[in-house]
Structures are given as C-alpha cells and as structure tokens.
C-alpha cells in the first residue's frame, strides 16, 4: 500500500486518516507532535481563508498513538480541553451549565427520541446525586427507546422515510433493532450493510443495497451513497466529471463503482388467489457473475476502462472474487478507517446539531474540520474501543459542551453556526424536532404511551401514516426526498388543528387531561403539572398567572373550566419551546 502515497494531497489526507500517526511520510509520530505544536492554534476560527491551510490542519490532526488510553475520563477531558481551546482562541466565554430541567429534556430527545415523562422529570429534579446525569445517560442507553430512536435515525438514512417499492422497511428495521439492541460494533454493521446478500426479510441488511438499486444504473447510486453515508465523502458529481472542489477524479468514481457490479436484485412475484393476479412477493439480492470490464465516458466522449480499486489499493479481481465483500473488508480495514471518523462526525452532529464539518458527510482536505485534533482522537479511540457506538456516545455527551445551556450568554453571540460561522459549541444549538421526535413526544406528553392498547406493529403503522404527510420525493432516480416538516405552515396547521393534537387535548375519559383534572390539587398545581409534562419545566410566574386568569375567565362566564385547561394544553403543545430541542 506504500507506493504512490505522496502523489496527491488526497492520498496524504487518507494516509493521515488511515494511520493516524505518520506525517506526509516524514517519520515517527514524535515529529508529528512538534509539528502540531508549531501549527496555527486557532483551530476553531471561522472557515474563511481556511482552505489554504488544509494541509497544516490535516497535519495537525495527527494524534500520537501513545495518547490513546481508552479511559472514558481522559477522553472526556480531552474533548473538554479541545473545545475550551476554541473558546479561548476566539475570546469567548461559554454559556452557563444548563439547568437539570433543560438538560433532561435534551438528553431524552437525543437518546430515546422523545421528551421525558412527568414522573421521570420529577424524580430527576429531586435527585441529589451529583453523578445523576452520567447515571441517566447510562440508563437511557439501556432503554428500549434508545434502540427505537436509533433504528429510526438509521432507517431514514439508509432507505429513507418513504422507502422505494420492493424494499422491506420491516426487514431493515429488524436488522437495525438488533444492531442497536446488542450494540454491535460499527465496523461489523458497515460490513454487513455493504456486503449483504439474500432475502429482504430474512436478512434485513440487504434492504440498504436494494433501496439503492431501484433502476438499472450499473450501481451508480450505490457507489455515491455508500461513500457518502459510511465514509463521509461525496463523489456523486465525479460520475460525470472530475470534482470541481475536491481532489476526486472521475476514474475513482468508477473504480469504486466496479465493486458493486456483481450485485443483482431479484424481485419475486406470486399468484394471489383472491385477485387472480400476480402480485409482489419477496425481493432478494444475489451474487451474479460479472466478467465484463467497466467503462465510463469521459467528458470528451471517449470511453475509459477501469479496474476495481479502493483508493490506491488495487484488488486482484478473479471472476469468483466477491467484490462487495472485498470492498466491505477494505472499508473497515486499518487503524483509522474513514468509516470511524464519518461516524464520529455524524454522532457529534446528532447531539450538537452541527458536526465538525458542514455538511457532516462531506469530509476531506477541501472542507477542513473545525476541531481536527478532536475529530482525529475520537476516531482513533472509537476504533480502539472496538467501534463501540454506545461508548462513543458516552464520551460525547458526558463532555462539558453537551451540558451548557442553549441560552446565549453575554459573551458568545458570535458562536452562531446558523449564520454560517464555524461552530464553537459554547452554547447548545437549538435543533428542530424531527417528525418522529414530535410524534413520540406528543405521545409521551399526553400519556398515550401508558394507555397500552395498540401493539408495537400497529402503533408503528399509525406513526408511519402520520409521518407520510410530510415527505416529498424529488422525483429522481436517487430516491432522494425532503420533508415539509420543519418550520412550515403545514406543520403549524397540523399542530393547531390536526387530529393528533385534537385527540391529545381532548378531556375524554382515559385521556391525560382527564387524569390531571381528576387528581387533587389547586389550579396552580395542575398548571404546574401540565408545564412539566410538556416543557419539562415549572411555569414562570407570568405564565402561571396567565393560565390562572384563563381558567377564572371561563369560570366567571360559567363555562366549563375543562375547556380552559384544554386551551392551556393546546398552547403548550403548540409553543416554540415544545417543538424545539434545546
């Protein structure tokens, strides 16, 4: 693998990523340390003008192997130190530590995909244990909600919210449920997804590939999506020409593409006695001989032949070689494969709203990371910890920046990635809830999760049906989609008038509101409970007064006070504070 490293900047970058120690082939890692020290320390300054420094940044990112201890405390300390350095360099102070009530809501939404139920909030607020946050993190990582939430997140990434026809969403979710329930090592998961074969429900992993193979496109979509999703590099433009901004060349796209040419989907049909017609049965992914050569058309119109190649690693492709397995093996090989830093960046982005690069799946020398050393160290530690996703999450969310408030302080207004600045993580960024998070949070806030009744599959179906109204497909062969969900009028209308909120605010027997009203206590106590179960905090005096007034107004008019509570509950569920994860 040694030859040709110094030929292109890209290879240098890859080299750094892969070995994590050698510097441009200059020798032992001690050099790396001194060079890193000498390098420009303003690592987190805004990206303007950063392009020219790509190389020194990449160089700086090298972490000596001896530093890898695997100790959770030390890694968390390292995160804190690196993030603090960014604050110091930019002369800002972080926001204060978030109150327990703010933090518990955030950690629930991020880890288990829904706001915490009232009882959990109350007992957490009462708990005097100084280690209660760390303990809660551990508990939530073992909660079934963790499995469900991350299954949703990855199912959306792998096959989309509206999977293409003849892809089994159920099969995909089954596979993912096992991944997150058993906390399977991420490298094994990537290997399975890239190399899977077989029946779309018996081996759910195949659905990832099936969803990329909806038309005969010679594996083009599978190539683009696999590199982007798992390795954080965007090559889709290089299908037709060399990349305008990064070092990808057209031939590399087709070298990668070569690995997918033996995959073939078989869509089985069966006779349906009821309709007397043939209907869809199962689909499967099978290995098929591909002994032809791969050609691609250059812009000049000439045809060029390529062999399968993983960056600079050629593959000895015999007809019986399973090239997808080869690719999967190469993707997970090495001390710091790209899949590690791509996952670290994605996980960081999940919890903070911004990753170390923007977008999170376009990494490389053309788009330098905001905190290259941190990204590098976390990737190496992630690999060393056996690609343990839960462990990675633990490091990230036990760190200081995850515990600061989303309230901007007096001194860190400039930390505003929404305006295009590089994120410094000095306050938590406000995130919009995903559609699934909102749905599940409404269920929690209205106590519907305790009512039982519908089974898992049935409630999952209801949830899917509700979600579908917000998804628009782009109408292309890549099955890309967008959502009309966030911050739109249809969303506001749905929250104001939709069936779900209507049901939630109904005061019928068995409903949450009915229960709250049936319990003892003054209006103030009830108001407090409604605030805690929706916004996870106590009402301010002004809010409490406004609510009391509302109730008294209705009583004065000899109306049913229940309707006043309904209106309060409606207002809480419709508020900006409810729909934002902060």
Partner 1 sequence: MRIPTPRGMNRRHFMRHMATSAATVPALQFLSDLRTHAADIKKAQKACILMWMGGGPPTIDIWDLKPGSKNGGEFKPIDTKGDLQISEHMPKTAMQMDKLSVVRSMSTREADHGRGRYYLHTSFVPNPTVVHPTFGSVVSRELGAKRPALEIPSFVSVNAPSGSPGFMGARHAPFVVGSNGQIRNASLGDDKSRLNQRLRMLSVIETNFINSKRGESPKSHKEIYQKAVNLMTSEQMAAFKVDEESEEMKDLYGTGGFGQGLLMARRLVETGVPFIEVGMGGWDLHNNVFTTLRDQRLPQLDQGIAALTQDLSQRGMLDDVVLVWMGEFGRTPRINGNVGRDHWAASWSVMVGGGGLKGGQAVGKTDRDGTRVDGKAYLPGDIWATVSHALGIPSKTVHRSKRGRPMKLANGGVAIKELVG
* Subset of 38-97 contacting partner 1 (CB under 8 A): 47-48
Check residue 548 for interaction with partner 1 (CB under 8 A).
no
The span from the CA of 205 to the CA of 191, in Å, is: 10
**Looking at 144, 198, 420, 510, which residue binds partner 1 (CB under 8 A)?**
420
* CB-nearer residue toward partner 1: 461 or 540: 540
* CB-nearer residue toward partner 1: 124 or 578: 578
Smallest gap, in angstroms, from Cβ of residue 541 to partner 1?
11
* CB-nearer residue toward partner 1: 282 or 290: 290
Smallest gap, in angstroms, from Cβ of residue 478 to partner 1?
6
Three-class secondary structure assignment of 403-431: HECCCCCCCCCCCCHHHCCCCCCCCCCCE
**Looking at 320, 419, 455, 522, which residue binds partner 1 (CB under 8 A)?**
419
Q: What three-state secondary structure class fits 236?
A: helix
Smallest gap, in angstroms, from Cβ of residue 432 to partner 1?
7
Check residue 249 for interaction with partner 1 (CB under 8 A).
no
> Interaction with partner 1 in 88-147: which residues (CB under 8 A)?
none
Smallest gap, in angstroms, from Cβ of residue 346 to partner 1?
16
Query: Cα torsion at 460, 465, 469, 475 (round to 10°)?
Result: 90
Phi-psi region of 403 (alpha: psi -120 to 50; beta: other; left: phi over 0): alpha
The span from the CA of 411 to the CA of 427, in Å, is: 11
> Interaction with partner 1 in 200-229: which residues (CB under 8 A)?
215-217
Smallest gap, in angstroms, from Cβ of residue 488 to partner 1?
6
DSSP labels, 333-381: -SSS-HHHHHHHHHHHHHHHS--SSSSTT--BTTB--SSHHHHHHHHHH
Structure tokens at 527: 């108001």
Distances (CA, A) of 324 to 125, 195, 337: 51, 5, 17
* CB-nearer residue toward partner 1: 339 or 494: 494
Q: Identify the burial level of 541 via C-beta atoms within 10 angstroms of its C-beta, where 0-12 means exposed, 13-18 middle and 19 or more buried.
A: exposed
> What single DSSP character describes residue 113?
S
Show the binding pattern over residues 256-295: x = contacts partner 1 (CB under 8 A), - = does not: ----------------------------------------
Smallest gap, in angstroms, from Cβ of residue 299 to partner 1?
8
Smallest gap, in angstroms, from Cβ of residue 297 to partner 1?
8
Q: Which span (119-127, 237-245, 272-280, 447-455) binds partner 1, by CB under 8 A?
A: 237-245
My answer on whether omega of the bond before 359 falls inside 30° of 0, hence cis, is yes
| Size of residue set near partner 1 by CB under 8 A | 81
> Interaction with partner 1 in 476-495: which residues (CB under 8 A)?
476-478, 480, 482, 484, 487-494
Smallest gap, in angstroms, from Cβ of residue 507 to partner 1?
7
* CB-nearer residue toward partner 1: 19 or 242: 242
For CA atoms 22, 26, 28, 34, the dihedral sign is: negative
The span from the CA of 337 to the CA of 340, in Å, is: 6
Helix 144-159 with 132-141: angle, nearest 10 deg: 60
> Interaction with partner 1 in 424-463: which residues (CB under 8 A)?
429-430, 432
> Interaction with partner 1 in 145-204: which residues (CB under 8 A)?
none
Check residue 16 for interaction with partner 1 (CB under 8 A).
no
DSSP labels, 531-565: HHHHHSSPPPHHHHHHHHHHHHHHHHTT--HHHHH
Q: How many residues does the chain have?
A: 582
Smallest gap, in angstroms, from Cβ of residue 319 to partner 1?
22
Structure tokens at 52: 């020219």
Which pairing describes strands 309-310 and 313-314: parallel, antiparallel, or unpaired? antiparallel
> Interaction with partner 1 in 498-527: which residues (CB under 8 A)?
498, 507
Show the binding pattern over residues 336-365: x = contacts partner 1 (CB under 8 A), - = does not: ---------------------xxx--x---
Smallest gap, in angstroms, from Cβ of residue 558 to partner 1?
8
Structure tokens at 339: 């899949």
């Amino acid at each position: 693998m040694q030859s040709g490293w110094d030929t292109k900047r890209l290879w240098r970058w890859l080299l750094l990523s892969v070995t994590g120690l050698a510097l441009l082939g200059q020798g032992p890692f001690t050099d790396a340390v001194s060079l890193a020290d000498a390098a420009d320390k303003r690592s987190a300054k805004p990206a303007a003008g950063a392009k020219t420094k790509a190389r020194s940044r990449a160089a700086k990112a090298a972490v000596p192997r001896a530093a890898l201890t695997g100790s959770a405390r030390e890694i968390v300390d390292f995160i804190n130190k690196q993030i603090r350095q960014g604050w110091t360099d930019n002369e800002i102070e972080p926001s204060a530590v978030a109150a327990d009530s703010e933090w518990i809501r955030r950690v629930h939404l991020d880890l288990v995909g829904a706001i915490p139920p009232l009882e959990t909030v109350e007992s957490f607020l009462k708990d005097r244990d100084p280690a209660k946050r760390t303990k809660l993190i551990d508990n939530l990582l073992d909660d079934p909600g963790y499995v469900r939430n991350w299954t949703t997140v990855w199912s959306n990434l792998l096959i989309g919210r509206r999977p293409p026809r003849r892809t089994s969403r159920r099969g995909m979710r089954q596979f993912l449920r096992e991944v997150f329930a058993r906390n399977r090592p991420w490298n094994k998961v990537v290997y399975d997804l890239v190399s899977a074969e077989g029946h779309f429900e018996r081996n759910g992993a195949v659905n990832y590939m099936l969803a990329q193979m909806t038309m005969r496109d010679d594996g083009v979509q599978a190539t683009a999506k696999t590199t982007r999703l798992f390795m954080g590099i965007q090559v889709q433009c290089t299908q037709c020409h060399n990349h305008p901004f990064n070092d990808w060349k057209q031939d590399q796209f087709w070298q990668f593409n070569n690995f997918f040419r033996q995959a073939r989907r078989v869509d089985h049909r069966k006779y349906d006695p009821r309709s007397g017609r043939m209907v869809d049965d199962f689909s499967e992914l099978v290995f098929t001989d591909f002994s032809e050569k791969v050609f691609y058309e250059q812009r000049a119109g000439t045809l060029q032949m390529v062999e399968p190649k993983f960056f600079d690693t050629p593959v000895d492709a015999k007809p019986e070689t399973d090239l997808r397995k080869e690719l999967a093996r190469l993707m997970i090989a090495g001390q710091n494969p790209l899949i590690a830093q791509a996952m670290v960046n994605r996980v960081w982005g999940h919890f903070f709203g911004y990753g170390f690069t923007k977008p999170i799946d376009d990494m490389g020398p053309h788009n330098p990371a905001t905190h290259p050393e941190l990204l590098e160290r976390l990737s190496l530690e992630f690999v060393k910890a056996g690609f343990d996703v839960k462990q990675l999450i633990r490091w990230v969310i036990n760190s200081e920046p995850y515990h600061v408030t989303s309230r901007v302080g007096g001194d860190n207004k400039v930390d505003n990635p929404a305006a295009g600045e590089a994120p410094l993580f000095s306050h938590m960024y406000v995130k919009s809830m995903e559609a699934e998070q909102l749905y599940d949070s409404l269920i929690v806030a209205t106590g519907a999760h305790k009512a039982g009744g519908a089974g898992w599959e049935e409630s999952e179906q209801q949830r899917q049906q509700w979600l579908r109204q917000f998804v628009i497909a782009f109408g292309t062969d890549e099955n890309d989609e967008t959502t009309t969900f966030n911050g739109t009028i249809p969303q506001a209308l749905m929250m104001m008038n939709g069936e779900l909120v209507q049901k939630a605010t109904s005061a019928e027997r068995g409903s949450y509101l009915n229960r709250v009203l049936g319990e003892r206590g003054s209006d103030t106590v009830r108001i407090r409970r409604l605030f805690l179960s929706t916004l996870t905090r106590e009402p301010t005096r002004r809010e409490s007064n406004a609510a009391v007034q509302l109730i008294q107004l209705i009583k004065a008019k000899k109306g049913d006070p229940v309707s006043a509570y309904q209106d309060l509950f409606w207002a809480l569920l419709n508020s900006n504070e409810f729909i934002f994860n902060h």
